[in-house]
A and B are shown apart, each in its own frame.
Chain A
Amino acid sequence: MSKRFLTLSLAALTALPAWANCPAVSGPDAGGEFPHLFERAAYEQLNNCTLSFNANPASAELNRRIVGNPELPSLEQRLPAEPLIIAPYERIGQYGGVLDGISKATESGTSDLLSVRHVNLVRFSDDLSTIVPNVAKRWTWNDDFTELTLNLREGHKWSDGKPFTAEDIAFWYNHLIMDKEITGSPKDRFLSDGKPMRVEALSPTEVRFTVNAPRPGLTAMFATDYAQPFQPKHLLGRFHPAINPEADTLAQSLGFDNGYAALKFYYGQSDWKDIPTPLLKDKEQVKRLVAAGFPAVAPTLESHLVVEDSLEGRRLVANPYFFQVDTAGNQLPYINEINEAYIGDEDIQTAKMIAGEVDYKAQAVNLPSAPVLLENRQQGHYDVALRPMVPLPALAFNLTDKDAEKRAIFNELDFRRAMSLGIDREQINKVAFFGLGKPMQYTAFDPDTAPFVTEAQKTAFIEHDPERARALLDKVGLKDLDGDGWRDLPSGKRFELDIRYATQGMATKVLEIVAANWRDLKVRTSIKEVTSDEYRSSQTANDLSITAWAMGRPQPVLASDPSWLTPPYGTYFDLRTGMEWARYLQTDGQEGSRPPQSVMDMLPLAEAFTRAELGSDESAEVGRKIAQLTVDDLFIIGTVKAVSPVYHSKKLKNFELPKTSSYDYYRMYPYLPTQWFLEE
């Protein structure tokens, strides 16, 4: 699909006023150290030329919409001395246009558009296995993977024109993540062996992360993480009491209770970049801040930043200080604005897509809407592609169920095997996924991107064998004792599986078929749809007997965060089971109940996987063991791995279809959305 050849883009050159001395190459094989990427010096040397830069003609105008930004200096002063040079997928683009997208609400269904403007220290290339530079120019590990040193770009600037330095990274970690007033308790992935890492700025362009145990997966964590590991110290630091002793006085003079309140007004209470900006929170306060010379929205390094924020949607304009240029020297991004409209109703979202009012959407576009989207693609001037999803819909019995007798049954391996054998995955595939999915067992990994997972592991206990399932159920003591045709608990009590689910986690039809299949095994099964919030809170409160959500992570995620392999097997937003085991492990045995030996066996394997270098034989060996243990335990039962639609307007050029349709590599981030452009 991507053109794997080198093109001299003459058309683009004639369209541009200034002649770039360097050849405007495009395509992945343009010749850089990494696909699509060059550093300036290497590029100029390779082509024996000097690169001259061109700005978006609208940048001054766009800059004026960023409240509190000073007038723009010349482009040379805005770009780093060593901008990241991007070879576009197809050709040099043209400036302008508004990218239309839809989310559900301010903090819901937004990651699609967040990924379009996202930046991080590093990035996964579109092969989803090579980590390539982004904000960081290069990085080096020490021999035992305990010290990561990153080099930044000389002259890199925030969107308000202030210099971005290593201090901003150290500030983010030491004063925001590690400050209890702001973060409470830091997330596991920002810790090392449960303890803080050491983050220090060695020079303005050099920062070092020191971890407590080998962690080669740290760069993969940055490549897939939604958080921005740098925050504008020049702004937020002024309100942080540890940095500015006058912080509280300053904040009070601006109408805040204290410095932290002012800091949170900009930073929010979350790492996500979709938190309500000051523009949405309090317009009066914003006026006071702007009058005192502060910006309305905290500056960013992303390609676009918010200039309007309301309950109807958000509008973003191109960052005039963005650090990437194309091979012709044009500053990226090409697209002037992003218009993010909030539409909560799924049917209206589909209607908007059919009408061609959206330029790109993949998140929450479900396979059942593929036929109608495909039907109207000519009229709506868009295309739809299908891409495999990374996670697969999975079910788990609550291994620490509150009901003792059920818990005992759920902990019988034969019971879990029987229930897995009872599911007719072919029927699920046919009815729910148009036959496009692949029946598959849960192996903890995304088998499509983890070559070491064996065929036997992927297909363990996935055949539909009701006979064997019934025999296994008889064996564990689930028999019909009162003659009503349904199986009862060994004590004679009624045995009923009540599946609560949210459609966000699993489609109704999948569970309908599972429930019908299980009823065929003479196990009373009912399903009940609840809201996502309700599902999540009762799951974490250990109130559910069966949990159902999509599960399975790619290698880099598992390598950077071992918690996916140990109870409760997922975050608040994923499938969880064994909450009491998790409590036992978290409290070092003080509370909760002790997990079985196989869980204990997984702990060192999970740890070992984070310490091995991805792609090495050692990593594959450990990975295969993990998959085997997962399948042997069968705590989580997989169903069918499906595909999902990716919608994109025909206007959108340089658009590279993703390899997967999933959140895991942060959606479009590996596919360089900064070089997208719009052409009517």
Chain B
Amino acid sequence: MQAFLTNTWLLWLLSGAAAILWWRGRSSQLFRYIFNRYLLALGTLLLVSGIVFSLMEVLPGDCAEKMIAYKNTQGEVITQAQIDAERARMGLDQPLPVRWASWVTDLTLKGDLGFSCAKRQSVNMALGDRFWMSLGFCIAGLLFAYLIAVPFGILSAWSLNKPWLDRKSHHTPLRRLRNSIGLVIAKLVDLQLRLISYLGLALPNFLLALSIILLYVFAGEPSPTGLFSDQWRGQPWFADSGFQWGKLNDFLGHIWLPILVIGWAATALQLQTVRALVVDESNKLYVEAARARGIDGFRLWSRYPVHHSISPLFNSVGFDFQRIFNDLPIVAVVIGLTDAAALLIEALAMTNDQELAAGILFLVALVVIGMNFITDVILAVVDPRVRNSVMHAGGH
């Protein structure tokens, strides 16, 4: 019984959640929507697993050949028969759909991501807590990007199409001067910020990371590579004397670099998105209407366009995560992080470790889909416009 449960725990979890949603959905439109959305997410995941799995087929070689290649480097002479035997032992002689089906079954039953043949251990064990580390970096980088992009994107949208000088005749000369100075400053700040944030995009991550490290080196300071300095690497977080603040300090002294690099690169796109969203919203008729009602200036802005452009921005968090993860592997290689992103590069470019790469890619997709699901649900709960539209759609 115990073994049966540990071997199928994930399936129970997934179907339990579905059952609860379905039950609640019988009486609530909202839950019916969430239930549908949940099924859709699972369906997409299934599709993703298929795509990822077949993508890995294009990588040269398979586990059996890799084992053999390894033995070859050790000076052994290997026959084709041995390769075939190895292949049969690993089940690699089965056709693709069969292997995929067994992979998906193991995955949904007990969250087992398969066996990494380059590391010669299970993917789950090879990953360990590395995926959480990557997740942490991406989220920190995203926060960094949002913190800069949201306020300055709004500023940029606001100053767009604004003249450099206030020439409204009904303003007093003093007010015109004051407004003009304000406008010039706002526009210059906008230009500066756009320049800086786009610079983050234009400077390739690997070069930026390396240049920062070299600045430290040439200044004679210890360079912030890796996650910890040697002194703290082997130390536990909790020692006899309580929590090790020194280790936390050291950790923060190292992780700012990857976060800065990936965050800065992501800022440009976020800024562009926020700017475009706010501009789009501010051009809509209801804004005109509000303006006609006499609401003006900052109040108009914060009430309507900004408020309304938050939803689509929030909705895209999942894809922003995907995009920022995209940048992480290269930064990880340069800085010497050993997180899932670095493992992914190793698996793809060096060891051709299909199962490990597929596992990591699938996990990233899982996070993206999960985030999309959660943001959709939250928006449906919070935002009345979204709620109305989805209820409506659900009603059909």
Q: Which of B39-47, B190-198, B226-234, B266-274 contacts A (4 or more CB under 8 A)?
A: B226-234
Task: Assess whether A379 is interfacial by the CB under 8 Å rule.
Answer: yes
Given contacts A184-B71, A269-B74, A572-B75, contact A348 B234 (CB under 8 A): no
Q: Are B210 and A348 in contact (CB under 8 A)?
A: yes
Q: Which of A54-62, A351-359, A408-416, A464-472 contacts B (4 or more CB under 8 A)?
A: A351-359
Q: Are B336 and A345 in contact (CB under 8 A)?
A: yes
Task: Assess whether B217 is interfacial by the CB under 8 Å rule.
Answer: yes
Cβ contact of B233, chosen from A312, A348, A537, A571, cutoff 8 A: A312
Please report the C-alpha to C-alpha distance between residue A351 and residue B223 in the assembled complex, in whole angstroms. 9
Task: Assess whether A308 is interfacial by the CB under 8 Å rule.
Answer: yes
Tally A residues with Cβ within 8 Å of B. Answer: 40
User: What chain A residues lie within 8 Å of B378 (beta carbons)?
Assistant: none
User: What chain A residues lie within 8 Å of B338 (beta carbons)?
Assistant: 310-312
Interface secondary structure of B, over-half rule: helix
Q: Are A345 and B350 in contact (CB under 8 A)?
A: no
Task: Assess whether B77 is interfacial by the CB under 8 Å rule.
Answer: yes
Q: Are A355 and B217 in contact (CB under 8 A)?
A: yes
User: What chain B residues lie within 8 Å of A269 (beta carbons)?
Assistant: 70-71, 74
Which chain B residues (65-121) contact chain A, with CB distance < 8 Å? 69-77, 120-121
Given contacts A312-B233, A355-B223, contact A185 B77 (CB under 8 A): yes
User: What chain A residues lie within 8 Å of B48 (beta carbons)?
Assistant: none
Please report the C-alpha to C-alpha distance between residue A339 and residue B218 in the assembled complex, in whole angstroms. 23
Which chain A residues (322-361) contact chain B, with CB distance < 8 Å? 339, 341-345, 347-348, 351-352, 354-355, 357
Q: Are B73 and A573 in contact (CB under 8 A)?
A: yes
User: What chain B residues lie within 8 Å of A342 (beta carbons)?
Assistant: 336
Please report the C-alpha to C-alpha distance between residue A188 and residue B75 in the assembled complex, in whole angstroms. 9
Write the nearest CB–CB distance from B211 to chain A, whole angstroms.
10
Return the chain B residue nearest A351 by Cβ.
Answer: B217
Q: Are A533 and B213 in contact (CB under 8 A)?
A: no
User: What chain B residues lie within 8 Å of A183 (beta carbons)?
Assistant: 76
User: What chain B residues lie within 8 Å of A344 (beta carbons)?
Assistant: 333, 336
Task: Assess whether B182 is interfacial by the CB under 8 Å rule.
Answer: no
Q: Are A270 and B334 in contact (CB under 8 A)?
A: no
User: What chain A residues lie within 8 Å of B70 (beta carbons)?
Assistant: 269
Task: Assess whether B372 is interfacial by the CB under 8 Å rule.
Answer: no
Which chain B residues (215-229) contact chain A, with CB distance < 8 Å? 216-218, 220, 222-223, 225-227
Task: Assess whether B19 is interfacial by the CB under 8 Å rule.
Answer: no
Q: Are A348 and B222 in contact (CB under 8 A)?
A: no
Please report the C-alpha to C-alpha distance between residue A317 and residue B216 in the assembled complex, in whole angstroms. 30
Given contacts A281-B121, A345-B334, A354-B217, contact A572 B73 (CB under 8 A): yes
Task: Assess whether A138 is interfacial by the CB under 8 Å rule.
Answer: no
Q: Are B72 and A351 in contact (CB under 8 A)?
A: no
Task: Assess whether A282 is interfacial by the CB under 8 Å rule.
Answer: yes
Write the nearest CB–CB distance from B193 to chain A, whole angstroms.
31
Please report the C-alpha to C-alpha distance between residue A355 and residue B221 in the assembled complex, in whole angstroms. 8
Return the chain B residue nearest A308 by Cβ.
Answer: B234
Interface string of B327-346 (1 = CB under 8 A from A): 00000011010100000000
User: What chain B residues lie within 8 Å of A379 (beta carbons)?
Assistant: 220
Q: Which of A100, A185, A348, A376 has the most CB of B within 10 A?
A: A348
Interface string of A74-111 (1 = CB under 8 A from B): 00000000000000000000000010100000000000
Give the B-binding residues of A (Cβ under 8 A). Answer: 98, 100, 183-185, 187-188, 269-270, 281-282, 308, 310-312, 315, 339, 341-345, 347-348, 351-352, 354-355, 357, 376, 379, 531, 533, 536-537, 540, 571-573, 586
Known: A98-B230, A344-B336, A351-B214. 11 other contacts (CB 8 A): A185-B76, A269-B74, A270-B74, A312-B226, A351-B210, A352-B223, A355-B217, A357-B223, A379-B220, A533-B350, A571-B75
Pick the 9 closest A-B CB pairs, nearest first: A184-B76, A187-B75, A355-B217, A311-B338, A351-B217, A185-B76, A572-B73, A312-B338, A354-B217
- A-B contact list, 20 entries, CB within 8 Å: A184-B76, A185-B76, A270-B74, A282-B121, A282-B125, A308-B234, A312-B226, A341-B230, A344-B333, A348-B336, A351-B210, A351-B213, A351-B223, A352-B217, A352-B223, A352-B225, A357-B223, A531-B349, A537-B69, A586-B77
Give the A-binding residues of B (Cβ under 8 A). Answer: 69-77, 120-121, 125, 210, 213-214, 216-218, 220, 222-223, 225-227, 230, 233-234, 333-334, 336, 338, 349-350
